[in-house]
Amino acid sequence: MLKKRIIPCLDIKNGRTVKGVNFVDIRDAGDPIELAKRYVQEGADELVFLDITATIEKRKTLVKLVRKIALEINIPFTVGGGINTIDDVAAIIEAGADKISINSAAVKRPEFITEIANNYGSQCVVLAIDTKYINSDWFVYTHGGRNYTPQKTAEWAKKAENIGAGEILLTSMNHDGTKNGFAVELTNNIANIVNIPVIASGGAGTEKHFVDIFKNSKASAALAASIFHFGEIPIPRLKKYLFENKIAIRN
C-alpha cells in the first residue's frame, strides 16, 4: 500500500536552518545538513529545503549546499526558494536535488512549470502555493506571502496540473505558525480537483493534527517545520501515533 509521507521542511537562510512564525520573526534552528541527517535517521520520508536568502550570491551557496545534502542523504529531497530561471533549475538538479519547488516565478510566468516539466519531467516540479482565505475564498499569495494576487487557489492548482506540475505543496497562511492544525477542508478541496499528490502544509502542532489531515482529506503528504526542528514532536513518536491510528506510514 502506498504510504502517507511525513516531510520536514528546512527553511535556509545564509546556509543555516531558520523558521519563521507567520512568515516573520525568524528563529535559528541550526546546520541544515546535520538536521537533514537526523531526520533521515528518524524516518522522514522526504525533505524540503526552502532557501529564503535574498542576496546575489545566493545561487552559488545554494548549489553548494544541495551538492553536500545529496552526498549525505538517501531519500528524495526538494529544493525551492527564489528559483526563477531554467538555469537555476539545471544547476540545482545537477547538484543532486530530486525535485524543484517553485512559487512566485510560476505565478508570474506559468510557462515556467511547463519548461521544467519538459526538461526534467513533471515528477520534478513541485508547485508551492501560499494561500489565504479572504472575502469568502482562497487566494494565491506570492513572495513569501507578502503579495496578494487575484488568482483563486483552486483554479491555479488545476491549471498548474494541466500545464505540467507534478505535485502541489499547499500552505495555508491562515494556519501556518498557529499550531492549531492543518487546513483540512481547503486541502481536501484541492486534492479532489487535481489528480497529482497534494502536500498539506501549515498549522501542524500535535500528532492528532496529522491524523486529522490524513483521515479527512486526500493529502498524500504532510509537511511541517518548527515542531520537528525544536524536537516538540519527534518523527518516530509521530509515526507510531499514526500507525496506531491506522494511517498507512513507512516504518
Partner 1 sequence: MIAIIKYNAGNFTSVKNAVERLGVEYIISDKKEEILEADKVIFPGVGEAGTAMKYLKERKLDVLIKNLKQPVLGICLGLQLMCKHSEEGDTKCLGIFDTEVRKFPDIKIVPHTGWNNFTSVKGNLFEKIKTTNDVYFVHSYYADICQNTIAVCDYIKPFSAAIQKNNFFATQFHPEKSADVGEQILRNFIQFT
Q: Which residues bind partner 1 (CB under 8 A)?
A: 1-3, 5, 40, 45, 70-71, 74-76, 93-96, 98, 120-124, 166-167, 195-197, 220-221, 250-251
The residue (of 26 and 75) whose beta carbon lies closer to partner 1 is: 75
- Known active-site residue 11: yes
3-state class (DSSP) for residue 52: coil
Alpha carbon 71 to chain centroid distance? 21
Instruction: Count other C-beta atoms under 10 Å from residue 223's C-beta.
Output: 25
Closest approach of Cβ 227 to partner 1, in Å?
21
Identify the active-site residue in 51, 88, 130, 212.
130
Identify the active-site residue in 11, 45, 176, 212.
11
Closest approach of Cβ 115 to partner 1, in Å?
15
Closest approach of Cβ 94 to partner 1, in Å?
6
From residue 48, give the alpha-carbon distance in Å to each of 39, 78, 91, 123, 240. 11, 5, 17, 15, 22
Q: Checking phi first, is residue 42 left (phi over 0); if not, alpha (psi -120 to 50) or beta?
A: alpha
The residue (of 16 and 67) whose beta carbon lies closer to partner 1 is: 67
- Known active-site residue 137: no
Instruction: Count other C-beta atoms under 10 Å from residue 150's C-beta.
Output: 6
Asked whether the beta carbons of 196 and 218 are under 8 A apart, the reply is no
The residue (of 98 and 115) whose beta carbon lies closer to partner 1 is: 98
Half-sphere exposure of 132 (CA within 13 A, CB side): 15
Closest approach of Cβ 68 to partner 1, in Å?
11
The residue (of 215 and 250) whose beta carbon lies closer to partner 1 is: 250
Q: Which residues carry out catalysis?
A: 11, 130
